Structures are given as C-alpha cells and as structure tokens.
Amino acid sequence: MALLIEKEIYIVLDQRHYTPGNKRGFVQVTLRNFKTGKVTQNRFASEDRAEPAHLDPRPCQYLYHDDAGYHFMDLGDYQNFPLSEDVMGEKKYYLKENMEIDVFFHDGKPVEPQFPKTVTLKVVESPQWVKGDSVTNNLKPAVCETGLKVQVPIFIEPGTDIKVNTESGEYISRA
C-alpha cells in the first residue's frame, strides 16, 4: 500500500494495530519515502486520515543491472527505465534476467516492484554433507545464482533448482 503524506509518496512496509487497555487504539506504521528511501515509524490515531496514493501496476521485464540501477522495460509501451538500489533493497536477489514482474507507477513514474510469492533459483554453491548428518532435519547454507544466501536441506546439491519465498527469503521446496 502507498500513502500520500504532505505530498510525498510513502510505501507501507509494515503495520500493526495496538489497543492499550486504558488508552485509545492506534496503528503503528513503518513507511519508506519513495524519493529519499528513508524508513520512518509513524503513529496514526483512529481520527487521523491518510490519503492513499493510487498506484498503477504495469507488467515489466527485467533487463540488466549497471551503475544507474536495475533496468526494466515496460511491456505496454516498450520504454526502458531504471530502479535504484534503494528501491530494490533485498528484493534484488530475486531478479533474474528476462524475468517479468509488475512494477507500480504513480503519475507515470515507477515507484515499487511487486514480486511473486515464490521464485525459482538455481543453487550454485553449497557444501557437501556428511552421511551422519541425516539423523535430524538439518539445514546447510547455499548460495543461489543471484547471490541470495538461503538455508536449505542437506540433500540439495549445486545445480539444483529450488523455490524460495520472496517475503521471508526461506527455502520452500525443490523446483
């Protein structure tokens, strides 16, 4: 979700509703400023109003990464645009070349990428496991083709395609 606060676009990263016993309830929100990338905490009381920012999702294709950022192509009008390192954050580890995702636009400007719940990545580096380790459900570190480090079961070998949850960054299953 995105909000317009003082004519600035803020992306809602996290929100929690609190109702203390003898006080009025409020919502604690973690916001990221779209322009500056600065993350702030904000409290909204029940009488406070926030204007939603209308975001337009458009299908886009990831092309490449360079010093200017992560370059995408809008599949509707074939225009190329970069998204900065700050906007991508940790989600950059889920991007593969030619991958198609939705990017939210506000007033014709790209704001935020929207990733699917899971992505399939190839494991490129993972240590060997010892036969005695299989007694319990052990995990070992693995590095994927995009540089993502994830804990995987001991039977996963380099070259294996795995599914990873993009919200938590955790291993789900083999692909």
What single DSSP character describes residue 145?
T
- Can you give the pLDDT of all 175 residues of the chain as single tens digits? 788 888 888 888 889 998 888 888 899 999 888 777 788 898 988 888 888 888 889 999 999 999 989 999 999 999 999 998 888 888 899 999 899 999 988 888 888 888 899 999 999 998 887 666 555 678 889 999 999 999 999 888 999 999 999 988 899 998 8
- Two tokens, residue 159: 């070259």
Query: What pLDDT is recorded for position 5?
Result: 85
pTM: predicted TM-score of the whole model, two decimal places: 0.71
Q: Is 91 helix (H, G, I), strand (E, B) or coil?
A: helix
Any idea which residue has 């994927």 for tokens? 144
Domain annotation for the chain: domains and CATH numbers: 2-44 (2.30.30.30), 56-114 (2.40.50.140), 118-174 (2.40.50.140)
Q: What does the buried/exposed string (b/e) look like for 109-145 if buried means 16 or more CB atoms within 10 Å of the residue's CB?
A: ebbbbeeeebbebebeebeeeeeeeeeeeeeeebebe
Query: What pLDDT is recorded for position 107?
Result: 83
